[in-house]
């Protein structure tokens, strides 16, 4: 069983479309193991997006991510990381397959509706940034 972190970004929360996004993951057979709404701080953004610090888009990304509440969740399932990334679609919504989350909800490569872990190591790191051990319904 694989676990992955998903962030439903502030743009989707503002659209009042959290439930639609959650439904997409559940329809695909993924299980929600943890879920909460929070407001990202600059400090949390710096930890989460550490590999992007210094890149031209970093400030815009952080400003967007701290602009309003987001929903953090942990999903589990067989090959969960790749399944979630397939459901989400390409980072740039212009390149996203039709009917993916980003094709339906994203407006550009920063305001792209959702974040998902890209590998097992990053999933573990990211999950631990957003959730305490007693908030998880499984053991990492």
Which tens digits make up the pLDDT trace of 47-64?
Answer: 999 999 999 999 999 999
Residues tagged in the binding site annotation for ATP: 9, 57, 85, 91, 102, 112
List, in order, residues 6 or more apart from 111 with CB less than 8 Å away: 9, 11, 64
Cα dihedral: 124, 126, 130, 136 (round 10): -20
Predicted TM-score of the model (pTM): 0.95
Query: What is the domain range of residue 32?
Result: 2-38+70-128
| CATH number (domain holding residue 20) | 3.30.70.141
User: Is 52 one of the annotated active-site residues of the chain?
Assistant: no
pLDDT higher than 80, residue 19:
yes
Q: Is the residue at 56 inside a domain?
A: no
pLDDT higher than 90, residue 139:
no
Q: Is the residue at 8 inside a domain?
A: yes
Number of domains in the chain: 1
Q: Is the residue at 122 inside a domain?
A: yes
Q: Is the residue at 101 inside a domain?
A: yes
Residues tagged in the binding site annotation: 9, 57, 85, 91, 102, 112
Could you give the CA distance from residue 80 to residue 3 in angstroms, rounded to a whole number? 6
Q: Is the residue at 119 inside a domain?
A: yes
Q: Which of 3, 48, 52, 115 is catalytic?
A: 115
């Amino acid at each position: 069983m694989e676990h992955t972190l998903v962030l439903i970004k502030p743009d989707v929360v503002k659209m009042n479309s959290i439930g639609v996004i959650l439904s997409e993951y559940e329809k695909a057979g993924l299980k929600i193991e943890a879920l909460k709404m929070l407001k990202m701080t600059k400090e949390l953004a710096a930890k989460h997006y550490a590999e992007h610090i210094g890149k031209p888009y970093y400030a815009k990304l952080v400003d967007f991510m701290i602009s309003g509440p987001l929903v953090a969740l942990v999903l589990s399932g067989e090959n969960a990381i790749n399944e979630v990334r397939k459901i989400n679609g390409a980072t740039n919504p212009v390149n996203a397959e039709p009917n993916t989350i980003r094709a339906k909800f994203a407006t550009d490569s920063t305001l792209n509706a959702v974040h998902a872990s890209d590998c097992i190591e990053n999933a573990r790191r990211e999950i631990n940034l957003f959730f305490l051990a007693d908030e998880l319904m499984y053991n990492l």
